[in-house]
């Protein structure tokens, strides 16, 4: 729903707080005769509630993802990225995928304890856990709640492999845990860099780290011996796609070994939210951007088909794929993909495994 006066809050991404797709009632602004629509909007403060989860690990069966389990310490994300494909998940909570998603958050403070319980089950089988795949595990409230650090402490104790993607420099705080695990093949960190343009970044992802700060984070992680990668995600046609090669080059210079990309995804309410944002901040480009998106999604804003949903289809999508592949070849990215090690997993209360050595021949 587009209002006559967008809800523009400093440091927030969405300009709309329309209700989710499951709600029966809707909201809209109207002038009550007192000029209320002309008044300055009050500050929008972040509210955090406790999410009473019964489990920590979320098992998935998507055939186009390289992992089968994830762990998300938070619901909603204060970074406020307007393109975030997780926004529609807030509708399941009776909240808006718009401003509510970035200002009404849920934290899972018992996630480390739940994780410990699940990893200790005799029937548990180890496989890499992907941290923060829905919302960023290092969003600003992590400074206070420290849930992600608690999760890493459990993973380190159990010698359990993990990967994570973040656009926050806060991950540097936990290098004392991540670096020793990385030395044993148990950790992989991707940093997401969407654009190098500070103005575009401020509009796209208002509370995430600045682009140059993320490159510095990549460098510091790499210097600490942690395998790193860069996600040029999302690629937005006619808005940031021209920057892809430069982002990959700077990331490789900062020590990144791996790279990935995702074409912009606009499921459910996100399509309307992104269009409103686009027409507010980049009105002259809006029609062109939306046209290219539809050309890459079988004429629609989004195509949820497995394998196609991440990369898109059509001439533009194929061009992006080819550009990415050639850039990675030139920069020696994705040359070697060493899988995370699962053989070291061991609950701390279990008897220690005795290393086995091959029998040597006498001569």
End-to-end CA distance of the chain: 80
pTM above 0.85, yes or no: yes
Q: Are 42 and 36 in contact (CB under 8 A)?
A: no
Q: So what's the pLDDT on residue 31? A: 59
Count other C-beta atoms under 10 Å from residue 341's C-beta: 16
Question: Hunting for tokens 């808005």 — which residue is that?
Answer: 239
* Cβ pair 258, 227 in contact under 8 A: yes
Of 115, 113, 131, 120, residue with least CA distance to 69: 131
CB neighbour list of residue 81: distance below 8 Å, 6 or more residues apart: 13, 167, 194, 204, 205, 208
Question: Is the pLDDT reported for residue 2 higher than 50?
Answer: no
Whether pLDDT at 212 is above 70: yes
286 pLDDT higher than 60: yes
Distance of alpha carbon 13 from alpha carbon 131, whole angstroms: 23
49 bridge partner residues? 106
CA angle (232 as vertex; 16, 184 as ends), nearest 5: 120
Convert the pLDDT of each residue in 187-210 to its tens digit: 999 999 999 999 999 999 999 999
Is pLDDT above 90 for 361?
Answer: no
Q: What percent of the chain has pLDDT over 70?
A: 89
CA angle, residues 37, 42, 43, in degrees to nearest 5: 140
Q: Which run of H or of E encompasses 126?
A: none
Could you give the angle at the alpha carbon of 53 between the alpha carbons of 48 and 59, nearest 5°?
Answer: 120
In this structure, how many other beta carbons lie within 10 angstroms of the beta carbon of residue 200?
Answer: 18
- Which CATH fold topology does 46-331 show? pyruvate-formate lyase- activating enzyme (3.80.30)
pLDDT tens-digit map of 246-256: 999 999 999 99
Instruction: Please answer whether residues 102 and 135 qualify as being in contact, where contact means their C-beta atoms are separated by less than 8 angstroms.
Output: no
Average pLDDT estimate for 85-114: 94
Instruction: Name the residue ranges covered by the structural domains of the chain.
Output: 46-331
Is the pLDDT at 4 greater than 70? The verdict is: no
Q: Write the pLDDT tens digit of every residue in 257-268.
A: 999 999 999 999
Tell me how far apart the alpha carbons of residues 294 and 278 are, in angstroms, rounded to a whole number: 15
Local confidence band at 44 (pLDDT 50, 70, 90 cut-offs): confident
- pLDDT tens for residues 218-251? 999 999 999 999 999 999 999 999 999 999 999 9
Q: Is the pLDDT of residue 357 over 50?
A: no
Asked whether residue 42 carries a pLDDT value surpassing 90, the answer given is no
Indicate if the pLDDT at residue 272 is higher than 70: yes
Q: What is the pLDDT of residue 37?
A: 54
**Range picked from 58-67, 147-156, 348-357 for highest mean pLDDT:** 147-156
Average confidence score pLDDT of the chain:
90
Which residues have a Cβ under 8 Å from the Cβ of 124 and sit 6 or more positions away? 118
The helix (H) or strand (E) run that includes residue 134 is none
């Amino acid at each position: 729903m587009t209002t006559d006066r967008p809800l523009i809050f400093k440091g927030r991404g969405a300009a709309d707080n329309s209700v989710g797709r499951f709600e029966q009632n809707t909201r809209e602004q109207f002038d009550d005769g007192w000029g209320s629509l002309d008044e300055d909007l009050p500050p929008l403060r972040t509210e955090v509630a406790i999410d009473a989860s019964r489990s920590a690990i979320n098992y998935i069966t998507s055939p186009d993802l390289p992992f089968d389990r994830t762990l998300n310490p938070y619901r909603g994300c204060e970074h406020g990225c307007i393109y975030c494909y997780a926004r529609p998940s807030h509708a399941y909570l009776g909240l808006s995928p718009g401003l509510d998603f970035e200002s009404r958050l849920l934290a899972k403070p018992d996630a480390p304890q739940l994780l410990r319980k699940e990893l200790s089950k005799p029937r548990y089988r180890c496989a890499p856990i992907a941290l923060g795949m829905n919302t960023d595990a290092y969003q600003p409230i992590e400074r206070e709640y420290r849930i992600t650090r608690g999760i890493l402490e459990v993973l380190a104790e159990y010698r359990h492999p993990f990967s994570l993607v973040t656009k926050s420099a806060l991950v540097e705080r936990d290098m004392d845990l991540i670096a020793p695990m990385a030395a044993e093949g148990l950790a992989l960190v991707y940093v997401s860099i969407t654009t190098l343009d500070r103005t575009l970044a401020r509009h796209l992802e208002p509370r995430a780290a600045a682009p140059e700060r993320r490159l510095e984070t990549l460098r510091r992680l790499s210097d600490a011996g942690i395998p790193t990668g860069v996600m040029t995600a999302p690629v937005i046609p006619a808005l940031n796609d021209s920057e892809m090669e430069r982002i990959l080059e700077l990331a490789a210079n900062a020590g990144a070994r791996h790279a990935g990309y995702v074409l912009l995804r606009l499921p459910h309410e996100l399509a309307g939210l992104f269009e409103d944002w686009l027409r507010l901040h980049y009105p002259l480009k809006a029609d062109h951007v939306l046209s290219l998106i539809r050309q890459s999604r079988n004429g629609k804003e989004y195509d949820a088909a497995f394998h196609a949903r991440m990369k898109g289809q059509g001439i533009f999508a194929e061009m992006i794929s080819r550009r990415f592949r050639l850039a990675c070849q030139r920069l020696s990215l994705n040359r070697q993909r060493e899988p995370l090690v699962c053989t070291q997993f061991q609950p701390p209360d279990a008897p220690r495994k005795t290393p086995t050595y091959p029998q040597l021949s006498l001569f």
